[in-house]
Amino acid sequence: MDFVLIMKLIPIYKESIFLTLKLSLCAIMISLFLGIVCSAISYMKIPIVSWIIKFYVEISRNTPLTIQLFFLYFSLPLFGVRLSSFNCALFGLSFLGGSYMCEAVKGGFDSIKKTQIESGLSIGLNNWQLICHIILPQAIVLSMPLIAGVIVFLIKETSVAGIVALADVMFVTKDVIGMYYCTNEALFMLIVSYVVIILPFVLLFTFLKEKIKYIDNKILF
């Protein structure tokens, strides 16, 4: 293991770590938004729209991210739509993450007691008010372990983004191996990079899990 070379590689990996982290955070936020909206619509069983969401979830979850990125990067230009490498990776990850977030949050929706829903309806709340004020806040917390798993999954999936020429951590690792023929050092830096990116999220979710307690479906911090 050449530690002198590793020190030389740190500035290169530093840039790729920031790019990977930026891509991950943007994809997580969009995926969470899509997941919440899709799960709320599915819960309300809105005609036609619910079937569209179900179709989207099945297509997204049952096709590889690689194929989705290839379609966005190579097929869309045939229709006059050109995306940058970053936007292509962001849309692909968000498309995939939204479906997983939808299923995760939907589990929280299904865990809400019917007595709370009936109580909300009895005081005159409509469906959207019921979701916004009673169901969604609890569903998010109840789904937190699943949401945390999806977030870590999305961060790991950024390793595929290099196929659209995005200089993420994996892409840089392949370049470094090709230039310096230092497989061990490059793979070591790759592992360290993903630990640096993922570990703070894992620690955060572990902290939240310890702080959140459930007593009769009420959330105490």
Q: Which of 72, 68, 84 is nearest to 23 (CA)?
A: 84
What is the model's pLDDT at position 95? 93
Digit-coded pLDDT (tens) for 51-90: 999 999 999 989 898 888 888 888 888 888 888 889 999 9
Digit-coded pLDDT (tens) for 89-146: 999 999 999 999 998 888 888 777 777 777 777 777 777 778 777 888 888 888 888 8
What is the model's pLDDT at position 134? 80
* CA atoms of 198 and 47, how far apart (whole Å): 39
Tell me the residue length of the chain.
221
Find all residues with CB under 8 Å of 79, minimum gap 6, and list them: none
Inter-CA distances, 18 with 14, 26, 100, 129, 148, Å: 6, 12, 25, 39, 21
pLDDT at 31 over 90: yes
What is the model's pLDDT at position 212? 67
Ordered by start, the domain boundaries in the chain are 3-220
Q: pLDDT-derived band of residue 27, with 50, 70 and 90 as boundaries? A: very high
What is the model's pLDDT at position 178? 82
- CATH pick for 3-220 out of 1.20.1050.10, 3.40.50.360, 1.10.3720.10, 3.60.21.10: 1.10.3720.10
pTM (2 decimals)? 0.85
Mean pLDDT for 145-164 is: 88
Digit-coded pLDDT (tens) for 175-220: 888 887 888 888 888 899 999 999 988 888 888 777 765 544 454 4
Name the H helices within 45-167: 49-61, 65-70, 85-111, 114-122, 127-130, 136-142, 144-157
